[in-house]
Amino acid sequence: MGLMFYDRIPTPRILWWGAIIFCIVAIADSWFRWATFQYGTFDLAFYAQGLWLAGKGAWHVSLLDVPLMGNHQDPIVFLALPFYKIWSHPMLLVILQTLALVTMPFTGWRIARHLEFGPQASVWLALATLLAPATGFVALHEFHPEALAAPLLLLMFQGRLQRRPGMFWLSFILVLACKESMGLLLAWISLVFWFIERERDREWRVGWNVIPGCVAFGWFLLCVLVIGPALNGGRVDFLELYSHLGDSPGGIVGGFFTHPSKGAKALWHGLTGGNLALGTLLPFLLLPVLRPRWIIMAAPIFLQHLLSWRQSEWSINFHYAAPLLPLLWLGAAEAGSALFWRDILAGWVAVGCVVGQLWFGPIKNVWHTATGAGEALWARAWKSEMLAVVDKEASVTAGIPYLAHLANRQRLYSLHHVLKGLNTLSRTEYKPPTEIDAIVMDTADRATFDTEAGYFHPQRPLGDRTLPASDWLLHRFMSQHPWHTFARNEFAIFLKGAPAQQQGFQGAGSKLDEWHTLIACEKMPPLKDDPMLFAISWEVKPKRPSLLAASLYLKAADGVLTLVGKGPIAPGIESGQLNEAWAVRPPPSILPGKYRGVLLIYDPLEASSAPERHVFKRRVFDVGEFDLK
């Protein structure tokens, strides 16, 4: 086809400014959170390690113990491989993702002009693709290939509206490559269009509906029946997300007909427990409801997430809304184009997105990142210094925020798997690696030590067996080797090798329980940047039922307490005496002055209701006065 009339109109400059500002904010916030160890999932590390290995001709990603296509079938990531060979940095993927997302206002502007919105109204509608709260969350939630489906779906619909088969098929294939579930989505969209356009000629319906639908559904079947099972090996079980509905694909689908109330209850929980539905519809002023076909097209994505038991899938705060954005935006644009006051309404859609940003959007997260920058940079400085002692060739098990920093290596494992004791989204036992050179542990890292997600848990029944408590799983994992430790505050790096023995510990000892004794805790001359240094000696006995933990509180003259975490006591030590040095670097929020040190020893899983678990009473020790300058 020839050029449309709006193809000859220069792209409005405000769209470029909007794209540039979005890029700067999204990349700056993402880079800062990555650099200061604030990332909370392992997805970026998985793809970074996978591409780094692929560039060297290796395909097995140790982080999930599957090939790169064994987690999701998302071959679109291989398009980044040439760039990753040039610059092997994990944030490259985040940058490429952001650049893809900022193409949406330009595509949206062309679609709005095609729908005969005025020039200014088309600009407002186009900017709404970036102003929508879900878009910001998708951009800021690390890296996920599914995020690329948003701009590509919009481009695909532009090709369909303008009858440009080349644009349509290129974006169609790329959408399929974003994730295996995109095959089912595109097959469903093709079926809906086939029904809606039943009055059109046979050539149109075959070329634009039947053939795309068959290609999409064929790819979906190939992924779920052949590629996924062959590469996954049961290590990542996504059906576990729907285990409350049935124990097999047939059981889940059949359950909707035999026990419809169970499915309705799950759907209700998803709708009321999260903001995925309202968070994507409200900013567009609920206009997609006036064009139900777009809601119907989006149904597979809504059902995929709202029927899951995992609460994160019910929310726009992650990447799950990415495929919904173009569908609901198109629903709003098409509904508005049919109204007499459509140009005015387009402006209100942009206003609705701005209000959504201020109400529940990611702008609050960006503000919190900025206001907490000082303390985050302070922690990054000394944590990066400690992390540098880990050899680049070492086999490492680390907490989630540190994985992306260690991704360019052959053997990398996540500490949250050790603590959980299970493979990802599975009830099968996680078998931790036996040859580990270093362990990076940060007990203040709530992403890894997450009790809500179940990573850090008490002993609990699991079918016909019992899953040990997380602290015991950690102890069992670390007992494979002796370790020497670099510890500061709650952050510790364990390097394989015999621990250094320190002499001169004295004290009658304080028995904490039947298995733990605090022999001594003495102040040592401070280091240059660490005004507090302790020499601590523990004695542990065999077969202890739990690992106790220690934390230091600094008590000011007015009685205010400030917590400085430490972590578990003698992990990996079966029995005997352990002598260790623990450096404490107070955060910048602590003002100069005199403080009283209070050492708290406690059971981190003390709240467990498991009757067989030893219940430990907290113990508090005064460790003297400190003058912080």
Residue 303's pLDDT is 94
Residue 521's pLDDT is 83
| Chain mean pLDDT for the chain | 89
Question: What are the residues whose beta carbons fall under 8 Å from the beta carbon of 105, sequence distance 6 or more?
Answer: 15, 18, 19, 126, 127, 129, 130
CATH architecture of 457-628: Distorted Sandwich (2.70)
Torsion angle defined by CA atoms of residues 90, 91, 92 and 95, in that order, rounded to the nearest 10 degrees = 150
**Taken in order 263, 266, 269, 272, is the CA torsion positive or negative?**
negative
DSSP 373-419: HHHHHHHHHHHHHHHTTS-TTS-EEE-HHHHGGG-SSS-EEEHHHHH
Residue 617's pLDDT is 60
Distance between the two ends of the chain, CA-based, in angstroms? 74
Beta bridge partners of 61: 66
Residue 501's pLDDT is 47
Residue 4's pLDDT is 58
Residue 506's pLDDT is 40
Residue 394's pLDDT is 94
Residue 502's pLDDT is 43
Beta bridge partners of 562: 554
Element (H, E) at 219: helix 211-222
What residues does each domain of the chain span? Answer: 457-628
DSSP 25-62: HHHHHHHHHHHTT----SHHHHHHHHHHHHTTT--EET
3-state DSSP call for residue 321?
coil
Alpha carbons 516 and 137: distance in angstroms, whole number: 46
User: Which regions in the chain score pLDDT beneath 50?
Assistant: 1-2, 500-508, 608-615
pLDDT in tens, 321-330: 999 999 999 9
Beta bridge partners of 462: 465
**Whose structure tokens read 């922690």?**
379
